[in-house]
Amino acid sequence: MATIRDVAKLAGVAPITVSRVLNKSGYVSPETQLRVETAAAELNYVPNMLAHSLRSNRTQTLALVLTDITNPFWTTVARGVEDEANAHGFNVIFCNTDENPAKQDQYISMLLRRRVDGVLLVPATSDGAAVSALRTQGVQVVVLDRRVDGGPVDVVRGGSEAGAQALADHLLDLGHRCIAVLTGPSELSVSHERVAGFKAAYVQHRLQFDDALVRYGAFTVESGYAMAMEVLTLTPQPTAIFAANNFIAIGALRAFRRMGLRTPEDVSIVVFDDLPDTFATAPFLTVVAQPAYLLGKTATEILLARIASPATSHTQEITLPASLIIRTSTIATAPPPPPPCLTV
Amino acid sequence: MATIRDVAKLAGVAPITVSRVLNKSGYVSPETQLRVETAAAELNYVPNMLAHSLRSNRTQTLALVLTDITNPFWTTVARGVEDEANAHGFNVIFCNTDENPAKQDQYISMLLRRRVDGVLLVPATSDGAAVSALRTQGVQVVVLDRRVDGGPVDVVRGGSEAGAQALADHLLDLGHRCIAVLTGPSELSVSHERVAGFKAAYVQHRLQFDDALVRYGAFTVESGYAMAMEVLTLTPQPTAIFAANNFIAIGALRAFRRMGLRTPEDVSIVVFDDLPDTFATAPFLTVVAQPAYLLGKTATEILLARIASPATSHTQEITLPASLIIRTSTIATAPPPPPPCLTV
DNA sequence: TCAGCATGTGGTACGCGTACCATATGCATG
DNA sequence: CATGCATATGGTACGCGTACCACATGCTGA
């Protein structure tokens, strides 16, 4: 494989001149440029990015550390990241942590060895350990979707509270008073934020929120199914369910079917996160949709800006609003409204 | 950032000895090893993979060049690749070509510059240009899902012909005789293979296949919708539709709704490619499902084997069987069967 | 006793592109 | 005419880990 020196020899110039031509840096006369380009083409020269990176301390590589690329929400985020990064000449390495801190740590040490220029991190834990591990080695970090403790970091997230509140508003307006809340792991900020947003709506409606109807589990179909089965056996049976992400919702829908409950006639359901348009033959879930692609794109923009000028010390937290989409998975409770689940 | 020389100095040994400790190569006494490890830990030493790669000509990096990570089929393949690669200490760079040859070429030249060890390629074109571009530079390639011209390559693919034939068998057994076939771009081998498999069933049933009912488009929802709208206005109206991938199927289902047709009462539909379990609240599409995860995993295994011992010249084509899953999107035509669409 | 091997450690140069510095010419400016 | 700048090109060393070779010791087996 030809090196820059081979090209230089063939073109009758110094290696550094070849470098200048290929990088369009410094002054090169048009004739020299042509000679070099011809020589490079003839030798089928392919620049060695490793050597370039080693010298310049820039790998033109980002990493996206997320929970599971299989979740269509994250897939879309990933696509946003990829497109934006690629437009700036960066490549992206993907890492699935499956919410497993050990896996996350393993990936992070690999990324440090690789000297990636920046990391987009969906932290598996809310302690800032992962973030500071990267930063102390000079790697730029932007946190996605979740908040972490310990020092200021750039964060790009969806509007969990406002989104959840919008869903709660919708249900309360429809007359529901006994609503079960199925959310993710209690270790994650999003899990709490979505519950908090839900509660906020109750306050505004001057209603008492019943913590006994909240379940913390995982953001998976299985967990959604299990949590739904549990709350649906309560007396009185909830008239509506809030699923804190799309997988939990799918699990809940399966539980409905298992128990012979119709949606929305017997139980209403609202969901945080949409399923991409593409998968829905007949979308019926009332959801708040996060702008997943934009989330990935925005986070990448910020990360690239930080890489370009690391001096900028001012960190920012960007919240991209989620939008309520009312479909047919929710229905008003039969008048007169049933007695409240909890007597105040 | 500490280098191997810093560690060596602190441990009182030569740099090469540190290298031996960190790579567990060559002989090192237990005491020396401990001293080095202590020194490395104290200095917070992180090996520089760039230097390692530059010297050893190994980047421990693979690339997965596919059409669109947003398609759940590819997402699952990607996950299979990622897991297998990671288990062997390799990272993966993802590249979305959107079936665009120009984008593909751009990515490939980037991957060459990066000196990736191997590429898993879902070729956007069936000419072998991309494959040979990589190979002439010494990069190992395994082709996924599609066949390419020009020289033998390792290929891992789903059983397009057999799968399509199974779907056709199913429809023909149910009495359908007027079946529209909606497939992908005519440039891609898969598009043809799926049609060919479909035709094969006709031969076995001693029936005449009507090429006028075949449409070539793209593997997208929009294209599926357009093609379906077109064939559904034919006279006589097809009683069943074969969608050559999941996106086309979704587009077709939307066309059904648009035209007020019920599935399966008015039109049956069979699909090549399943939607992952996870997304289906109530799976109803009769499909042949490809083992997507296994496909990615298998291809990666082969690629890693080639990287480990490039000498092995014997290429292989592995076909992973797709499996027929009969659900509720298909129904028998009302007896007596309608007259054939085409009079033989 | 000595070849031969396992064990343990070091020196030097290299992989390949470029940062940094140096040099040289031509031309404008004061 | 001297100074200064834009233009154009080259030399050397470096980024950091390791391939390759060399060397030293201790032990085994013939």
Task: Give yes or no for a contact between A192 and A252, defined as CB atoms under 8 angstroms apart.
Answer: no
Probe site for chain A from B22, B43, B48, B50 (most A CB atoms < 10 A): B50
Inter-chain contact A137–B46, Cβ cutoff 8 Å?
yes
Nearest by CB: B115 against A50, A72, A221: A50
A309 at the B interface (CB within 8 A)? no
Residue type, position A62, single letter:
L
Asked if the Cβ of residue A72 lies within 7 A of any atom of strand C, the reply is no
Q: Which residue of A has its CA nearest to B83?
A: A96
Give the pLDDT of residue B312: 72
Query: Cα dihedral angle (A66, A94, A23, A304), rounded to 10 degrees?
Result: -10
Distance of CA A93 to the CA centre of its chain: 15
Length A143 CA → D6 C1' (Å):
45
- CB contact residues (below 8 A), chain B span 45-74, against chain A: 46-51, 53-54, 59, 68-70, 72
Q: Which residue of B has its CA nearest to A134?
A: B46
* Residues in chain B closer than 8 A to A51 (CB atoms): 54
Query: What b-and-e string marks burial along A55-87, b requiring 16 or more CB atoms within 10 Å of the CB?
Result: eeeebbbbbbbbbbbbbbbbbbbbbbbbbbbbe
Residue type, position A308, single letter:
A
Question: Which pTM was predicted?
Answer: 0.90
Tokens for B252? 């077709």
Q: Which residues pair with A320 in a beta bridge?
A: A158
Q: How big is the CA angle at A23 (ends A20 and A26), to the nearest 5 degrees? A: 45
Least confident of A167-171, B125-129, B260-264: B125-129
Inter-chain contact B113–A49, Cβ cutoff 8 Å?
yes
CB-CB neighbours of B2 under 10 Å: 15
Length B52 CA → C24 C1' (Å):
39
Asked if the Cβ of residue A24 lies within 7 A of any atom of strand C, the reply is no
Write out the E strands in A18-117: 61-66, 91-96
Task: Give yes or no for a contact between A122 and A148, defined as CB atoms under 8 angstroms apart.
Answer: no
Inter-chain contact B253–A279, Cβ cutoff 8 Å?
no
Tokens for B303? 């690629």
Nearest by CB: A279 against B1, B109, B279: B279
Place of tokens 């292989």: B316
- B160: distance to nearest CA of chain A, Å? 22
Q: Please, how many CA atoms are within 13 Å of residue B288, restricted to the half-sphere of its CB?
A: 28
C-alpha to C-alpha distances, B63 to A47, A77, A82, A164, A283, nearest whole angstrom: 18, 19, 13, 39, 35
Probe site for chain A from B66, B76, B96, B113 (most A CB atoms < 10 A): B113
pLDDT by residue for chain A (344 residues), tens digit each? 789 999 999 999 999 999 999 988 889 999 999 999 999 999 999 999 999 999 888 899 999 999 999 888 999 999 999 999 999 999 999 999 999 999 999 999 999 999 999 999 999 988 899 999 999 998 999 999 999 998 899 999 999 999 999 999 999 999 999 999 999 999 899 999 999 999 999 999 999 999 999 999 999 999 999 999 999 999 999 999 999 999 999 899 999 999 999 999 999 999 999 876 666 666 788 999 999 999 999 999 999 999 988 777 789 999 999 999 999 999 998 765 556 676 54
Confidence band, pLDDT 50/70/90 cuts, at residue B1: confident
Task: Give yes or no for a contact between B76 and B106, defined as CB atoms under 8 angstroms apart.
Answer: no
Distance, CA of A23 to CA of A33 (rounded, Å): 11
pLDDT digits (tens, 9 = 90+) for B48-70: 999 999 988 889 999 999 999 98
C-alpha to C-alpha distances, B291 to A222, B158, B319, B328, nearest whole angstrom: 21, 8, 11, 21
Query: What b-and-e string marks burial along A294-327, b requiring 16 or more CB atoms within 10 Å of the CB?
Result: ebbbbbbbbbbebbeeeeeeeeeeeebebebeeb
Query: What domains can you pick out in chain B, each with its CATH number?
Result: 4-47 (1.10.260.40), 58-158+291-321 (3.40.50.2300), 160-290 (3.40.50.2300)
Asked if the Cβ of residue B11 lies within 7 A of any atom of strand C, the reply is no
